[in-house]
Amino acid sequence: MMNPLEIISSFWMDYYDGLMITLQLSAIGALLAGVLSLPLALARLHAHWMLQLPLRVYVSFVRGTPMLAQLFLIYYGSGQFRPLLEELGLWVFFRDPYYCALMTFVLNSTAYQIEIMRGGLTGVPHGQIEAASAIGMSRFTMYRRVILPHAYRISWPALGNEIILLIKASALASVVTVFDLMGKTRLIFSKTYDLSAYLWATVIYLLLVVMLVWVWRKLEVYFNAHFYSERLTTQKRSKNEYQYEK
């Protein structure tokens, strides 16, 4: 059995390479899902019910099935359609486990982000929409200056939580031979048979999530500066009143 410090000093480059793949999968997956989720959330709210139906089926399927099953369906299931995919020029994409894992993460996170954004859009106070309409804002301007900023403020904590879940779920990519952080860790363990290999992977995942939570919280405070300023003023006023009465 190796010393845990020997594991990290001997294989730090493998951990680093795996971490970069994990970051790529998580960041690209979350970003693409963020781009797709807003128009689909708007369609989910305002489109005709015939157009909403496939979206509802898609969201229900993704939320009701394990991500591992979705990954297997895309990676192994695509082989069943190899002749068709080769004819369409898509087999290069589907035979690569990295792209299949990325596609799974995008599809999975998009479904969750659609519902998060739908909640944010419906949570915008109706009075502010009426006020924006009363001063003559067009529908596009209303969305750009009133509805979307409020919707993103409301959705921000839930979106951060979704990205954290995506980072942790990215470890599933290792089961289809993607050498992300977990894939590299399994490789290190197969060479050393030392469980501290997984301990270091756990520490790296934890540090990654803690850093994301810290950055996300800073951004949340920045986007809601007026709210925190008002709350701080109220707390100071209450404290002064309490001291005066005392």
**pTM for this predicted structure:** 0.86
Cα–Cα dist 160/152, whole Å = 11
What is the DSSP secondary-structure string of the chain? ---HHHHHHHHHHHHHHHHHHHHHHHHHHHHHHHHHHHHHHHHHHHS-HHHHHHHHHHHHHHHHS-HHHHHHHHHTGGGGGHHHHHHHT-HHHHT-HHHHHHHHHHHHHHHHHHHHHHHHHHTS-HHHHHHHHHTT--HHHHIIIIIHHHHHHHHHHHHHHHHHHHHHHGGGGGGGT--SHHHHHHHHHHHH--THHHHHHHHHHHHHHHHHHHHHHHHHHHHTHHHHHHHHHHHHHHHHHHHHH-
236 has pLDDT over 70: no
pLDDT, tens only, 142-188 = 999 999 999 999 999 999 999 999 999 999 999 998 999 999 999 99
pLDDT for position 177: 87
pLDDT for position 226: 65
What would you report as the CA-atom Rg of the chain, rounded to the nearest whole angstrom? 23
Hey, how many other C-beta atoms are within 10 angstroms of the C-beta on 147?
19
pLDDT-based confidence at residue 241 (cuts at 50, 70, 90): low
Cα–Cα dist 244/246, whole Å = 5
244 has pLDDT over 60: no
pLDDT-based confidence at residue 243 (cuts at 50, 70, 90): low
pLDDT for position 239: 64
pLDDT-based confidence at residue 240 (cuts at 50, 70, 90): low
pLDDT, tens only, 209-222 = 999 999 999 998 88
Lowest mean pLDDT among 6-15, 87-96, 177-186, 228-237: 228-237
pLDDT, tens only, 82-134 = 999 999 999 999 999 999 999 999 999 999 999 999 999 999 998 988 898 88
Amino acid letter, 15: Y
Phi, psi for 61 (deg, rounded to 5) = -65, -45
Average pLDDT score over residue span 13-20 = 95
